[in-house]
């Protein structure tokens, strides 16, 4: 729909702003709950194309956040056994859930080519971003 185009344009602009402004953010994208299926679907993103446009709940870092409803900060992706690799250049990942009326509707996913780059400041900042995205989804 036209409204969805406008929403996706805004989400893409958020990805572009984050990726260009913050040096340790190298892939920035959104995944959303795919209808009533127990899977995530890739939304707007910036960075290398990924084969993983559908991620079943429970699989990888993203799929785990879909179930846990909690931030997931991965200092070293090589140390994770439930991890879906998108690019061999990625060293670390952060995933923050997006809640709409208390329901986990999706997430922002950020990959870094820098080892162990994410701090609590990233978590607080990205929670703020996700709250803004939640308001966009409600509108
Ligand atoms: N690494 C993620 C998959 C998505 S890509 O990073 C774009 C995961 O383990 O869920």
- Ligand 1 atom closest to residue 55's alpha carbon, by position in its atom list: 10
Q: What is the value of ipTM here, to two decimals?
A: 0.96
Look at residue 29 in the predicted model and tell me its pLDDT: 98
Cα four-point dihedral sign 57, 58, 63, 65: positive
* CATH classification at residue 93: 3.30.450.40
Phi, psi dihedral angles at 134 (to 5 degrees): -55, -45
- Cα distances from 83 to residues 59, 90, 113, in angstroms, run 7, 12, 16
Kindly report the number of other CB atoms within 10 A of residue 11's CB atom.
21
What is the Å distance from ligand 1's center to 78 Cα?
A: 12
Look at residue 1 in the predicted model and tell me its pLDDT: 67
Assess whether pLDDT exceeds 70 at residue 122. Answer: yes
Domain count, the chain: 1
Q: Which range of residues forms the domain containing residue 77?
A: 2-138
- Stretch 57-71: mean pLDDT: 98
What is the Å distance from ligand 1's center to 125 Cα?
A: 20
Helix (H, G, I), strand (E, B) or coil at 111: strand
The whole model's pTM is what?
A: 0.97
């Amino acid at each position: 729909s036209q409204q969805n185009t406008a929403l996706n344009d805004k989400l893409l602009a958020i990805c572009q702003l984050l990726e260009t402004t913050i040096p340790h953010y190298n892939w920035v994208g959104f995944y959303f709950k795919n209808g009533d299926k127990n899977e995530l679907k890739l939304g707007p993103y910036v960075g290398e194309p990924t084969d993983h446009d559908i991620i079943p709940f429970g699989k990888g870092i993203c799929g785990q956040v879909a179930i846990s409803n909690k931030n997931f900060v991965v200092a070293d992706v090589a140390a994770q056994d439930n991890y879906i690799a998108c690019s061999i250049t990625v060293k670390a990942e952060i995933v923050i859930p997006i809640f709409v009326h208390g329901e986990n509707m999706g997430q922002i996913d950020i990959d870094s080519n820098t080892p162990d780059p994410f701090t609590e400041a990233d978590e607080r900042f990205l929670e703020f971003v996700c709250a803004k995205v939640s308001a966009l989804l409600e509108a």
